[in-house]
Amino acid sequence: MNIFHSNTGTKPDRTRIYYQTDSSDTSISTDIGIEFINPTEISASYRSEIRSHGAQSESNQQYSETVREDMTITLYIDRSGEQSITGETGIKKDVDRIRSLIMPTIRGADHKKPPLCRIVTGSNVYRGSVSHLKEEYLFFNSSGFPVRVRLTLTLHAASTPETAEKAASPANSRKAWVIKSGDRLDMIANRFYGDPTLWRAIASENAIEDPLSFPLPSQIGQALVIPDKLIIR
């Protein structure tokens, strides 16, 4: 397996996993002590909360927050160049350490609390608790011991004061209006902002190039995104 960047030929920084030893470890600073080959795949899922304000109608729907739910990352451990006299490699100990991230701790009242983890790969940092682990042993040495394993970890996102503030910020809180026949951008702006002259912000947000022709027949029934007033001021 090539662990070098094909375009530069230079060896990249290896991915590291840090974990929380107890609730006082807010920086999540304990290195798990395994050198991973950089991931081949990273995927993330996001969820938007949409709530209705006042009467239960489509025109009263509003985004309350958008959050990342889960992130899945695929990592490799390769110890093909290492083995003891018996042929055993360090793969088993490595995997046992990774498994500990999904096992309950026995520390006092926090015995059911999953440890928070921080996965650092390049300039990207992912934070959360491991909710799923898949182990795939790919190669074995002549003694029958595994020398390469593929690990797929699913990280359930952990909320921090920074992410909570971002989710509650105006930039992450947009309203939606279902377009009806007879709508006008200035009337919609007046409804949401109390100022019909702010219609240009709505047109810009929704890439409406010809406001005088709004709404086109094809636009009826579609959702019009209303940017937060604090953003356009």
Domains defined along the chain, listed by start: 16-49+66-168 (no CATH), 174-232 (3.10.350)
Angle at 72 between CA 69 and CA 75, to 5 degrees: 155
Q: Which residues of the chain have pLDDT under 70?
A: 1-13, 22-25, 48-68, 83, 85-87, 104-112, 158-174, 229-233
Q: How far apart are CA 65 and CA 121, in angstroms?
A: 27
**Residue 138 confidence (pLDDT):** 93
Spell 26-63 as b/e; 16+ CB within 10 A means b. eebebebebebbbbeeeeeeeeeeeeeeeeeeebebeb
Question: What global pTM score does this model have?
Answer: 0.57
**Residue 3 confidence (pLDDT):** 29
Q: What is the DSSP string of 3-55?
A: -S-TTT-PPPPPBEEEE-SSTT-TT--EE----BEEEEEEEEEEEEEEEE-SS
Q: How far apart are CA 168 and CA 178, in angstroms?
A: 23
Residue with tokens 């093909």: 80
**Residue 231 confidence (pLDDT):** 46
Q: Is the peptide bond before 196 cis (omega within 30 degrees of 0)?
A: no
User: How many contiguous H segments (helices) and E segments (strands) does the chain have?
Assistant: 5, 9
Q: Are 100 and 153 in contact (CB under 8 A)?
A: no
